[in-house]
Structure 1
Amino acid sequence: MNKIISLPFPNRSFLKKITLFLFFMSVTLHAQIDKVEPPFWYAGMQNPELQILFYGKDISENQVTVSNGIKITNVKRTENPNYIFVTIDTKKVAPSDFVFTFKSKNKETFTQKYSLNKRRENSAERKSFDSSDMMYLLMPDRFANGNRNNDSENSTQEKYNRELPGGRHGGDIEGIIRNLDYISSLGATTIWSTPLCEDNDAKHSYHTYGQSDVYKIDPRFGTNADYVRLASEMHKRDMKLVMDYVTNHWGIEHWMMKDLPTKEWINQFDTYTQTNHKRTVIHDTNASEIDKKITIDGWFVPSMPDLNLQNPLTLKYLIQNAIWWIEYADLDGFRVDTYNYSDPKGIAKWTKSITDEYPNFNIVGEVWMQSQAQMAYWQKDSKIAEIQNYNSYLPSVMDFTLYEATTKAFNEDEGTWDKGMVKMYDNFTNDFLYPNINNMLIFVENHDTNRINQTYGNDIRKYKMAMTLMATVRGIPQLYYGSEIGMAGDKDKGDADIRQDFPGGWEGDENNAFVKEGRTPGQTEYFDFTSKLFNWRKTKAAVHFGKMTHYIPENNVYVYFRYNKDETVMVLMNNSNETKTVKTNRFKENIKNFKTGKDVISEFTFDVTNEIIIEPKSVLILELK
C-alpha cells in the first residue's frame, strides 16, 4: 500500500514569488540579444562617448536603462526594428560591470550585462612603427600551418583544400608564432599580416579581405585569444604587430548583410554599380559629380559591399571596432586597405579619431596612385590637399611610384635619359611633395603585385640591388614573405601564383626554408644576403632618420649618401652589365675628409679618395671612415 504524503499548502507570498520567477523566466526565454558590439569596452578613453549596437528580434521596441548611475546620452533606432544603438557616457566610470535593462510596452523586461575593462598601462602613448623598422608582410593561410585541428571549421563554408591553388591551405596564427624567430632573424621588427578576421565566403576566402565578422578572428586561423598571444609573443621579441584594416568594404557574407541595420549602412544603387577605380576624381577640380559618386560609392567587386562612411552610425561602428582591436590585442599599427576608395571626409574622421586616441600610432594607407603629387595629397598635413581644404590625417602612405620604378629600372641595363637608374633618381627628386617623407612605406612587391624575383627572372643580382635600395633610402622598408629565399610567382597566372605556400610551413614539405639546414644553396644565398643587410640596417640611425644627397646617374651607376652628424653611408649601384670605375672627386661634398669605406656585405675596405671599382649588376654599401 502506497503511503500518502501530506504537504503543507503554500502561502500566498510564496505563490507570488513562484509566479514572478516563472514570469521572468518566460520573458528571458523569449527575449533574445544575438549580438552586442563592441562586446566590451575600456574605461579611461579620451573620447568617453561609447555607441553600443544591440541586435535581436524587435529589440528597438524596448525602452533602455542602465545601472550604476551611467548616463545614456543617445538612443538611435532605425527602420530595422532588430537594431538599437545606445550611446553612454563613460567619462567618470571606473572599470566595472553594469547592466542594461530593456523594458517593452507590456512591462516585460530582460537584461544584458556589459563590462568596462581596465586599459594597459600607458596604452594611449603606445609606440608604433617608424622608419627604424623593417616590416615583413605575410599571408597567414600561405605562411605556415601550426595547428592542423583548425584547417576546416563547421561554422565556415570553405574547407581545407591545399590541392586547390586558390583554396584554403591551412596556414594560421600558430604557424606565425612558431616562426617568429625566423622572421626576427631576417632583421624584421614588424609584421603586417593580411586580414585575420572571419571571411565566410564560399571560395577564395583565404585572403580574408571580404570579412564576415570584424570582431572575430577567422576560426581557421585560430581564436581571438590566439591573436592576442601573437602580439604578446612578438612584444617579448621587441617586435610590432600591424593589423590590416579594411574601411571601404566588408564581404557579402557579413552577418549584417543578412539583415542590414539601415539601408544607408552600405552604398547602394538602383542596380549593381562597381567603382570606376578612378580615384583621381577626388582631387580633380574638373571632375563630374557622377564620376565622383561612382568612384567613392561603387562596390569594389560584387562580393564586397561598399561601406557608407557618410552614415554616422557606420562610421562610429568602424572607429570603435578599430580602437577595440588596438586595446584588446595590444596592436602597434594599422595598414589600411584601399584607403582612398572610402568617402574622403569619412575616412579622415576615422583616421583622426584613432590618432587622437593614440598620438604615436602609425597608420599606413594603400593609396595606389601613379604620381607623387597624387599620393602626397593623402598624407597628413599635405599642402597639396590644403588647397582644397582637405586633410586626411593619414600619417603614412605606400610609395607606389617607387615600386613602379624598381620593377622596371633594374631590368634596364643601359642607362639613358629616362631608363635605368635615372628612374630611381627621378622618383626621389619629388620627395619635397610629401609632408613626412621618412614616414613612407617602401616596397618592391606585395601580395597584389608580380613577385619581384619573377620580374627579375630570378637574377639574384637584381634582387640584391632592389633590397639594398629598400634598406638604404628614406622610409620604412617592407619585405614580402618568401622573397628572402628566392620565391617567385607570376600574377598573370592568377593571384594564387604570387601567394604560394612557404616551403617548410607544412608537414611533408620537400624542404624547410625556416631553418638553415633545410635551405637549398640558392635559398641560402638569398636568405644570407637579406638577413645581413637588414640586421645591419637595424643599427643605422643615419639610414633611419638621416638626410639624403644623391647624384645624377652616369653610365647607369647611381650614387647617394645617407648621413647625420655622427655617420655617413655611401651607396653605389652599378645597374649596367659592365664593370665601372667611379671617380670620387664628384662626391667631395659628402665624402669630405673620409678616406675609406667598409662594405657592409663583403666587409672589404675601399679607398674613397680617388676612385672605386664596382662590378656589373652589383652594389656597395660603404660606411665611411
Structure 2
Amino acid sequence: MKKLFLLFLIFTSSTMFAQIERIEPPFWYAGMKNPELQIMFYGKNITKYNVSTTNSIPITKVERTSNQNYIFVTINTKNIPPKEFHFLFKEKDKVVFTEKYNLKQRRENSAERKSFDASDMMYLIMPDRFSNGNSNNNSDASTTEKYNRELPEGRHGGDIQGIINHLDYIKELGATTLWITPLCEDNEAVYSYHTYAQTDVYKIDPRYGTNEDYARLASEMHKKNLKLVMDYVTNHWGMQHWMMKDLPTQDWIHQFENFTQTNHRRTVIHDINASKSDTKICMDGWFAPSMPDLNQTNPLVLNYLTQNAIWWIEFANLDGFRVDTYNYADPTAITKWTKAITDEYPNFNIVGEISMRDQAQLSYWQKDSPIGKIQNFNSHLPSVMDFNLSDELLQVFNVDEGKWGLGMDKIYDNFTNDFLFPNPNNLLIFAENHDTHRINHIYQNDLRKYKMAMALIATARGIPQTYYGSEIGMAGNKDKGDADIRQDFPGGWEGDTNNAFTKEGRSQVQNDYFDFTSKLFNWRKNKSVVHFGKMTHYIPENNTYVYFRHNATEIVMVAFNNSNETKTLKTERFAENIGNFKTGKDIITDQLIDITQEVRLEPKSVLILELK
C-alpha cells in the first residue's frame, strides 16, 4: 500500500503541480566514466524547495544561485543501471511536485568510439544552402526568421533531410566525414541561417528538422561508413538564447558597462608582455553584438557546456567535434572542457578553429605542444586548423614566378616548420571554408589551379577538408558579403534547372571539376602511405615543387609546376626516394610514366605518381 501511495503521489503531483519549465540535460546515460551529473532545473521560485530522489539515487550537491528560478542538482550515477526515477521537490518535508528523469543505456563500446583522422576527407556543408529535403519545415511558428530564398542572407530552406538525400553524392565524391556548420536552434531575427548564434543548445533548429532527424542522419551516415562531426560553439550563444532573458547568474556571460567587442588579438594569451586590460577584452569581449560571450570560468557554465557536448555525442552517436572560435574562450577553462571530453572518449578527435597565421602560435594550441610547455600550458586539443597553409593556398597558384620566398617556396616553407607541432599529421588542412573567398573565385575558375590546390591537400600531411560546391566549380567573392561564398548548391531545391548532384544534371565544366575531385579523393581513401606515411620534400626550383609520401611498402611522388611554362625535372635529384623504381602510375589517368631520367610537367599542373 505504501508503494502504491507513493506512485499515486508521484503521478498526481507531477501532473497537477509541476512548475519546472526546463531540465537540462533532459536525460543522461548510465555507465559514464565520470559518474557526477549536474542537472539544471529551471522554474519559477524553485529555490525554495528541498530536493530528493527516488530509487536511492545519491544527491552529492545542490547549488542555488542569486536567481531563485534555478537549482543545480548533482547526482552520483556510479554503479546505477539504466533506469527511470523521480526528483521530489519538497516544502517542509511535503512533496509539492516531482519530475521524472531517465538514465539510458549507452551504445556498446561508446567510450571507445573511433573518430576522424588523416585517413579521412572532411566535407564542409552549410546546411541551409545545401539541399531542401523537407519543404514542410522551411519556416516554423516558434522561430522569428521565416523562409525567404530571394534574400541572399535569408533562410533558404536547406535541412537535415536534404543532406540525408545526398549522402551517396558525398560518398561518390570521395568524402568520408561531414563537418556541418551548427544545427542547434538560432532564433535571431535576421541572418540566422549560419546558426552560430544559438538560442537552445539542446534542440535542433526546427527549420533543419528535429533532434531525432539529427540522430537519424548519423545512423544513415554510419551505414555508408561516413563520419559525422558536430560544429560546437563554446565561446558564445545568441542574444535570443532563452537564458539571456533570465540569467542563472550575473556572471554567466561577460558583461561590461558599455558594449565591448573582442579585440581579436588572441596573441595576448601567450604574450608574456601583454597588458591585463588587452587580455581581458580579447577573452571577455563579445564576438558580435548578437553573440553574448560565455564565462567558462564560472564552474556552472563550464559544466553545462561540457555535459551538453557529451550529451550530443551519446544522443546522436557523433564521430568528432570542430570547435568554433576555440581560443576566444578562457584558455584554462576551455582546456578543462576538452580534457573532460577526451577523458570520456580517448579516441575522440576535436579540431579547434585557431585562426592564427603563425605556426608557433598554432602549435601552442595543439595537445602536448612543445611551445605550450614553455608556459606550462597544455590545451589537450588533439587537432587545430592549419590557417597558415590555407592562406598560402588562397594565393600561391596565381604566383607565376619562383623567386626566393615566393611561389612554391611559400608551401615548402610551411612544411619546414612542422617540427613545431607535436602531431602535424593531425592538423586539418584546407584551401577554403565558409569564412574565406572560394578558391574558384581567387583562381577565376582555372581548373588547373583548382587541381593543384586539391592535389596538395589530398597528398600532404594532415586531414584534408573541402568546401561544398567547389567540386563543381562554384565560386564566391567574400568582398560581396558572406552570402556570395555560401550560395545554394544547384539541384538542392525543387525546380532547380541545374542538378549538380548527378552526372547527367551537371554541365561539362561541372563534371570536369567533379570527376577530378572524385578520382583524387577516392584514390586517397585506401592509401595509408598518404594517410600516415613520412613526407620528404625538396627545395623548390623555378616554381616547381616535389615531395614524396613513403612507408615501408609504398612511395607516392607529387610534383607541381606552378609556372606558365613546361618544365622537365631531372629525377636523379630525387634518387634517395626513387631508388630503383623506374615507372610511376599517374593516379588520375592511370598511365605509366618513365621516371628513370626525367619527368615532364605541363604548365600549371600537378602529377601524382605511384612508383612502380
**TM-score, normalisation: structure 2:** 0.98
- Computed over aligned residues only, the root mean square deviation of the Cα atoms, in angstroms, reads 1.6
Equivalent position to 2:532, from 542, 545, 554: 545
What letter is aligned with 1:544?
H
What letter is aligned with 2:122?
M
Conservation of the 8 A alpha-carbon contact between 2:14 and 2:99: no
Conservation of the 8 A alpha-carbon contact between 1:279 and 1:295: yes
Conservation of the 8 A alpha-carbon contact between 1:132 and 1:538: yes
Q: Summarize the Cα distance change of 1:95–1:25 in structure 2 as closer, same or farther, 3 Å threshold.
A: closer
* Alpha-carbon separation, structure 2, partners of 1:555 and 1:108: 82
Tell me which residue corresponds to 1:202.
189
Query: Which structure is larger by alpha-carbon Rg, 1 or 2?
Result: 1
Tell me which residue corresponds to 1:137.
124
1:529 paired to 2:491 = no
Alignment of 1:143-542 (within 5 A): 143-542=130-529
Tell me which residue corresponds to 1:3.
none
* Cα displacement (A) at 1:107: 3.3
What letter is aligned with 1:203?
V
* Cα displacement (A) at 1:27: 8.8
Which has the higher mean CA deviation after the structures are superposed, 116-125 or 412-421?
A: 412-421
Q: How many residues align?
A: 608
Tell me which residue corresponds to 1:11.
none
* Alpha-carbon separation, structure 2, partners of 1:69 and 1:22: 17
* Cα displacement (A) at 1:124: 0.2
Which has the higher mean CA deviation after the structures are superposed, 600-609 or 477-486?
A: 600-609
* Cα displacement (A) at 1:28: 5.4
* Cα displacement (A) at 1:272: 1.1
Q: Summarize the Cα distance change of 1:198–1:593 in structure 2 as closer, same or farther, 3 Å threshold.
A: same
Tell me which residue corresponds to 1:570.
557
Which has the higher mean CA deviation after the structures are superposed, 601-610 or 57-66?
A: 601-610
Conservation of the 8 A alpha-carbon contact between 1:27 and 1:108: no
What letter is aligned with 2:579?
K
* Cα displacement (A) at 1:166: 0.2
Tell me which residue corresponds to 2:578.
591
* Cα displacement (A) at 1:438: 0.5
1:109 paired to 2:96 = yes
Conservation of the 8 A alpha-carbon contact between 2:14 and 2:98: no
Find the residue that maps to 2:394 and give its secondary structure: helix
Conservation of the 8 A alpha-carbon contact between 1:124 and 1:359: yes
Find the residue that maps to 2:243 and give its secondary structure: helix
* Alpha-carbon separation, structure 2, partners of 1:70 and 1:543: 51
* Alpha-carbon separation, structure 2, partners of 1:205 and 1:536: 38
* Alpha-carbon separation, structure 2, partners of 1:527 and 1:471: 15
- Percent identical residues: 72
Find the residue that maps to 1:149 and give its secondary structure: helix
Tell me which residue corresponds to 1:610.
597
1:62 paired to 2:49 = yes
Q: Give a deviation string over 1:185-235, Cα, whole Å, max 9, x none.
A: 011000000000000000000000000000000000000000000000000
* Cα displacement (A) at 1:250: 0.4
* Alpha-carbon separation, structure 2, partners of 1:606 and 1:209: 49
What letter is aligned with 1:135?
M
Conservation of the 8 A alpha-carbon contact between 2:113 and 2:345: yes
Which has the higher mean CA deviation after the structures are superposed, 312-321 or 100-109?
A: 100-109
Conservation of the 8 A alpha-carbon contact between 1:281 and 1:287: yes
Q: Summarize the Cα distance change of 1:597–1:26 in structure 2 as closer, same or farther, 3 Å threshold.
A: closer
Conservation of the 8 A alpha-carbon contact between 1:431 and 1:437: yes
Q: Give a deviation string over 1:347-398, Cα, whole Å, max 9, x none.
A: 0000000000000000000000011000000000011111111110000000
**Structure 1: tracts of 5 or more residues without a match:** 1-16
Alignment of 1:54-93 (within 5 A): 54-93=41-80
Find the residue that maps to 1:518 and give its secondary structure: coil
Q: Give a deviation string over 1:406-431, Cα, whole Å, max 9, x none.
A: 11210101111121111100000000
Q: Summarize the Cα distance change of 1:554–1:59 in structure 2 as closer, same or farther, 3 Å threshold.
A: same
What letter is aligned with 2:425?
N
Q: Give a deviation string over 1:300-354, Cα, whole Å, max 9, x none.
A: 0010000100000000000000000000000000000000000001100000000
Tell me which residue corresponds to 1:554.
541
Q: Give a deviation string over 1:60-119, Cα, whole Å, max 9, x none.
A: 110000011111000000000000000000001100000100012483510000000000
Q: Summarize the Cα distance change of 1:23–1:284 in structure 2 as closer, same or farther, 3 Å threshold.
A: closer
Q: Give a deviation string over 1:118-172, Cα, whole Å, max 9, x none.
A: 0000000000000000000000000000000000000000000000000000000
What letter is aligned with 1:310?
T
What letter is aligned with 1:522?
V
Conservation of the 8 A alpha-carbon contact between 2:19 and 2:44: yes
What letter is aligned with 1:213?
D
Q: Summarize the Cα distance change of 1:559–1:52 in structure 2 as closer, same or farther, 3 Å threshold.
A: same
Find the residue that maps to 2:540 and give its secondary structure: strand
* Cα displacement (A) at 1:25: 5.7
Find the residue that maps to 1:410 and give its secondary structure: helix
Find the residue that maps to 2:493 and give its secondary structure: coil
Q: Summarize the Cα distance change of 1:317–1:166 in structure 2 as closer, same or farther, 3 Å threshold.
A: same
* Alpha-carbon separation, structure 1, partners of 2:14 and 2:496: 57
* Alpha-carbon separation, structure 1, partners of 2:12 and 2:119: 59
**Structure 2: tracts of 5 or more residues without a match:** none
* Cα displacement (A) at 1:29: 3.8
* Alpha-carbon separation, structure 1, partners of 2:75 and 2:95: 23
* Cα displacement (A) at 1:245: 0.1
Find the residue that maps to 2:499 and give its secondary structure: coil
Conservation of the 8 A alpha-carbon contact between 2:296 and 2:329: yes
* Alpha-carbon separation, structure 2, partners of 1:293 and 1:129: 34
Q: Give a deviation string over 1:275-319, Cα, whole Å, max 9, x none.
A: 000000000000001111110111000100001000000000000
* Cα displacement (A) at 1:22: 11
Q: Give a deviation string over 1:497-554, Cα, whole Å, max 9, x none.
A: 0000000000111210001100000000000000000000001111000001100111
* Alpha-carbon separation, structure 1, partners of 2:345 and 2:607: 40
* Alpha-carbon separation, structure 1, partners of 2:110 and 2:87: 28
